[in-house]
Amino acid sequence: MKLDRRHFLLAAGALAGAPLLARAASQPRVITLEYHATEMALALGLRPVGVADAKGYARWVGYGKAQLAGVANVGSRQQPSLEAMARLKPDLIVGVDFRHASLHGLFSRIAPTLLLPSPELDGLASVYADYRQFAQAVELQAAAERDLVRLDQALAEQRAALARAGWAGQPLAILQSIGGVSQMWAFAGNSVPGGIQKALGLTGPWLDTPARQGVETKTVEDLLTLQTSIALLSDGRSKLVQDPVWQRVPAIRAGRMAELPAGLWPFGGPASTPRLVHTLGQALLALKPA
């Protein structure tokens, strides 16, 4: 398929900072190839015409999943089907650079393509930047700004509540269990949870060290010298609590561990992030600071 004049002009406009597509009378036909892109579309009131790994989105993210009933599956996030995408005649394709940079040229022959940048420097800042970029592409900036104001408010409210409870400056380690093994992900300072920690006025053992995609793998033994409270995101299938060494972790012995409910998505999104902020704040308020 040749890149026609319309697609060329739209791509050129994107390079100049203009919206990626002219506002249509009806909703634009958008294909989303990453979980947080799907969440952003749904938060803006856009029902994608195609989604990569819709089942994974429904399981891990969940926001607005009922709206995806009947939406076309375009393959996996890593290897979306070009044929399936082309059949949908999209107005816009939204992916991420770390997965789709090598496919950008092929995508652009189907429709104007927005590749969101990797959140390697500041995951929380990327929640704002990505949503604004997506919203600009579909000319729904006002709706996005309303959502981001709510995120600002959630951060301010929880920060104030935690400060009143004596949590200001207190150290916290945010971990996510990995189902079926006694290992976990530790969230670094450039992750979304790490950014939330800092915005809430908390400190932590990994906040000064960035990590690839914002996470590092830790074992239970790595936690034996960790003198912080712990917030654990769990899907309920973790073997951590069955590990006898787990009971020797200082935070566990001291009763300073908050297990957050299943269904929290810690990798960005305009709906998932405020929910994580509120749930984390309320969980810590139920604990006494160290």
Q: To 5 degrees, how large is the angle CA 228–CA 232–CA 236?
A: 155
Model confidence at 9, pLDDT cuts 50, 70, 90, reads very low
Does 102 lie in the same domain as 216? Answer: no
Query: What average pLDDT does this structure show over 159-188?
Result: 91
Does 9 lie in the same domain as 62? Answer: yes
More confident position, 24 or 141: 141
At 106, list the tokens. 């092929």
**pLDDT per residue as tens digits for the range 66-119:** 999 999 999 999 999 999 999 999 999 999 998 999 999 999 999 999 999 876
Q: Which domain holds residue 205?
A: 161-285
Total structural domains in the chain?
Answer: 2
* CATH number, position 209: 3.40.50.1980
Does 171 lie in the same domain as 265? Answer: yes
* Tally of CA atoms within 13 A in the half-sphere of 252 that contains its CB: 15
Q: How far is Cα 95 from Cα 12, in angstroms, rounded to an integer?
A: 18
Percent of the chain with pLDDT over 90: 75
Q: Are 169 and 206 in contact (CB under 8 A)?
A: no
Q: What is the pTM of this model?
A: 0.88
Percent of the chain with pLDDT over 70: 88
